Amino acid sequence: MRSATIEILYHTVAILSCRLPSVEGHSRSSASFMRQSLSASRVTTIVGDEFHNELSLFPIIPYAVALSLRVSYHNLQQTKTSFFRERGRKQLMSNCRILQDLGGVFVSASVMAELGGHLLRELDAQQGAGNPDGHTSHSRFEPSSVVSAPETTGNSNALSKRSLVTDFF
Task: Give the pLDDT confidence score for residue 162 in this predicted structure.
Answer: 43
| Per-residue pLDDT, 25 | 53
Q: What integer pLDDT is reported at residue 151 of this predicted model? A: 37
Domain boundaries, the chain: 2-168
pLDDT at 152: 36
Give the model's pLDDT for residue 31. Answer: 84
3-state secondary structure string, the chain? CHHHHHHHHHHHHHHHHCCCCCHHHCCCCCHHHHHHHHHHHHHHHHHHHHCCCCCCCCCHHHHHHHHHHHHHHHHHHHCCCHHHHHHHHHHHHHHHHHHHHHCCCCHHHHHHHHHHHHHHHHHHHHHHHHCCCCCCCCCCCCCCCCCCCCCCCCCCCCCCHHHHHHHHC
pTM of the model: 0.73
Mean pLDDT by 10 residues, the chain (169 residues): 88 87 59 90 92 86 95 86 88 94 92 92 76 43 41 38 47
Rg of the chain taking only CA atoms, in angstroms: 16
pLDDT at 28: 63
Q: Residue 24's pLDDT is what?
A: 54
- 35 vs 18: CA distance, rounded Å: 7
